[in-house]
Amino acid sequence: MPRYSTGEAPGGHSYLQKAAMNGSCKIENGGLKNGYVKNGVCPEDRILNGGLYKRPFHEAFEETPMLVAVLTYMGYGILTLFGYLRDFLRAWKIEKCHNATEREDQRDFVPLYQDFENFYTRNLYMRIRDNWNRPVCSVPGERVDIMERFTDDYNWTFKFTGRVIKGVINMGSYNYLGFAQNSGFCAEASAVVLQQYGGGVCSTRQEMGNLDKHEELEHLVAEFLGVDAAMTYGMGFATNSMNIPALAGKGCLILSDELNHASLVLGARLSGATIRIFKHNNMQSLEKLLRDAIVHGQPRTHRPWRKILILVEGIYSMEGSIVRLPEVIALKKKYKAYLYLDEAHSIGALGPNGRGVVDYFGLDPRDVDIMMGTFTKSFGGAGGYIGGSKVLIDYLRKHSHSTAYATSMSPPVAEQIITSMKCIMGADGTSLGRERVEQLAENTRYFRRRLTEMGFIIYGNSDSPVVPLMLYMPAKIGAFGREMLKRHIGVVVVGFPATPIIESRARFCVSAAHTKEMLDEALSKISEVGDLLQLKYSRHHFVPLLDRPFDETTYEETED
């Protein structure tokens, strides 16, 4: 059922009333209880949570309407019944089985293709598969060209018609600052570097693959983040999954947000440390876990944990929410834990200077122990970085698998990142980067405000460029993607494994490259499709996260 509705205050309050309440009666929220807020300070200007926040933190997750939830479950029920029917037909060889099957001579083996035999993939995802993996045949900028394809066996195979759908407005790429371009200064600089260095490096950083471009990039990243040193990797996912094992191990405790990205989850699991999950962005839940960890120590032996590492993301890519970083930092300082911040989506996209969530809250980057991020999104490149103290980076250079085994970053990609980062910093002598950051913030607020006014259920923070629009019903996932493409808008629709089963959604990513006309066109088409599919579920019962009392019964101990 609705994930965010446990014990919420009765709906219908406007956010401002609540905000006023937070400022004056601090008993209501966790701030006072946590002990890091001084008593008796009642700021007049409605600063949230006792002055930890320098700007209003407006985050809403509207409750799922009951009727919609019931109909969604009913829809999944019907699809599941037909899935069983089709599986029955396949098992009895009445219908041809398209998916991967075992070889005839290995029939009695344990099945090898367990994953592909997944009931959900075969019977539910297959029916609307045409909405994903559409081949794009242009630069993924604000408009893209998409190759038209058709299927004559209900999405098991696709064939190209040879036509191209031109000028589709791209609302799906993580091109936050619009640096995904095939022309302009970034592309030209990359072309020059390609001439000089070639495309590949064919070695790792520890051997023959350490170019001057990489050193330059690392210095620039450290300067950009405001930390002592930084290190870059060729793949963003591997940055997380290979560096967390270098930092934590057996006897360590990892506290991870429940909605963390798969790379963080994989890294935490590979490390062998004990993992405990706290409720999404819920500081009471985090504090309880921290307190328990310190009081009880390791299970059975009750020795103290060797270290405690908190894993959070800057912007959560499926919820569009922004981490409560001031509170996390206060907690981490109080309980002397380490903080690993994944800024994959937030770097470049948040903050007045585009320097991520730390900049957004106006905090000191040195308070975050490990600053991780990717170049894939805002910089239009590829790869990831880790920033932090000199000691940390030197340690990682020696111990991380990404350094030892991964081929180093392609020089043109490094150059793309260098030029785009310099542009954001204003080091190229123009104000272009700053304008883009401001444009993105403006586009984000406009797009979110208009969608909310239209009556859609929109999740997340009002400043987050990731905008999830709730669809709920499984048939509407397919219908929304198809109807939007018909109207020449490219969107990303997301269903079950990535989201909870009933909370299917469409996810828009606003870019600085979108002009107001494009956004208006997209908005009018979204409204049109929203009317056609009856997606305007909102009853304007906003439930600000801050006011949800912490319910002890809703969170599970992960004691082992």
Partner 1 sequence: MFFFERFGATIALIKMDVKHFKDYLSWLYYQYLLITCSYVLEPWEQSIFNTVLVTAIAMVIYSSYVFIPIHVRLAVEFFSGIFGGQHESTVAPMS
* Residue 406 engages partner 1 in binding (rule: CB under 8 A): no
**C-beta of 132 vs 154, nearer to partner 1:** 154
Question: Tokens for 542?
Answer: 């906003």
Question: Tokens for 111?
Answer: 């099945």
For tokens 């300070």, name the residue.
Answer: 41
Question: Tokens for 97?
Answer: 């089985």
**C-beta of 91 vs 391, nearer to partner 1:** 91
Cα-based torsion angle of the residue sequence 194, 198, 199, 200 in order, rounded to the nearest 10 degrees: -150
Q: Among residues 221, 235, 413, 473, which is the contact residue for partner 1, using CB under 8 A?
A: 473
* Residue 532 engages partner 1 in binding (rule: CB under 8 A): yes
Q: Which residues of 307-321 are buried (b: 16+ CB within 10 A; e: fewer)?
A: bbbbbbbbbbbbbbb
Number of residues forming the site for partner 1 (CB under 8 A): 20
**C-beta of 139 vs 502, nearer to partner 1:** 502
**C-beta of 89 vs 112, nearer to partner 1:** 89
Q: Among residues 377, 476, 507, 514, which is the contact residue for partner 1, using CB under 8 A?
A: 476
**C-beta of 75 vs 251, nearer to partner 1:** 75
Q: Among residues 42, 85, 137, 191, which is the contact residue for partner 1, using CB under 8 A?
A: 85
As measured in angstroms, the least distance from the Cβ of 539 to partner 1 is 19
Candidate segments 76-84, 162-170, 296-304, 367-375, binder of partner 1 by CB under 8 A: 76-84
How large is the angle between the packed helices 325-335 and 283-296, nearest 10 degrees? 10
* Residue 475 engages partner 1 in binding (rule: CB under 8 A): yes
Q: Among residues 35, 41, 82, 336, which is the contact residue for partner 1, using CB under 8 A?
A: 82
Q: Among residues 425, 427, 432, 533, which is the contact residue for partner 1, using CB under 8 A?
A: 533
Handedness of CA 449, 455, 456, 459 (dihedral sign): positive
CA distances for 513 relative to 93, 179, 356, angstroms? 52, 8, 19
* Residue 69 engages partner 1 in binding (rule: CB under 8 A): no
Q: Which residues of 495-532 are buried (b: 16+ CB within 10 A; e: fewer)?
A: bbeebeebbbbbbbbbbbbbeeebbebbbebbbebbee
* Residue 71 engages partner 1 in binding (rule: CB under 8 A): yes
Q: In what order do the strands lie in the sheet with 505-509?
A: 466-470, 505-509, 492-494
As measured in angstroms, the least distance from the Cβ of 553 to partner 1 is 33
**C-beta of 6 vs 155, nearer to partner 1:** 155
By CB under 8 A, what part of segment 28-47 binds partner 1?
none
In sequence order, which ranges of 171-261 are alpha helices (DSSP H)? 185-197, 212-225, 236-247
By CB under 8 A, what part of segment 194-253 binds partner 1?
none
As measured in angstroms, the least distance from the Cβ of 128 to partner 1 is 6
d(CA 504, CA 497): 10
Q: Among residues 74, 262, 391, 498, which is the contact residue for partner 1, using CB under 8 A?
A: 74
* Residue 128 engages partner 1 in binding (rule: CB under 8 A): yes
d(CA 541, CA 557): 31
d(CA 545, CA 548): 6
d(CA 215, CA 223): 12
Tell me whether strands 143-150 and 308-313 are parallel, antiparallel or unpaired: unpaired
d(CA 382, CA 409): 8
Q: Among residues 478, 481, 495, 530, which is the contact residue for partner 1, using CB under 8 A?
A: 478
**C-beta of 238 vs 526, nearer to partner 1:** 526
* Residue 534 engages partner 1 in binding (rule: CB under 8 A): yes
d(CA 312, CA 56): 21
As measured in angstroms, the least distance from the Cβ of 79 to partner 1 is 5
* Residue 65 engages partner 1 in binding (rule: CB under 8 A): no
Q: In degrees rounded to 5, what are phi and psi of residue 202?
A: 60, 25
**Residue 82 corresponds to which amino acid?**
F
As measured in angstroms, the least distance from the Cβ of 474 to partner 1 is 6
**C-beta of 82 vs 132, nearer to partner 1:** 82
Candidate segments 73-81, 412-420, 453-461, 544-552, binder of partner 1 by CB under 8 A: 73-81
Q: Which residues bind partner 1 (CB under 8 A)?
A: 71, 74-76, 78-79, 82, 85, 127-128, 154, 473-476, 478-479, 532-534
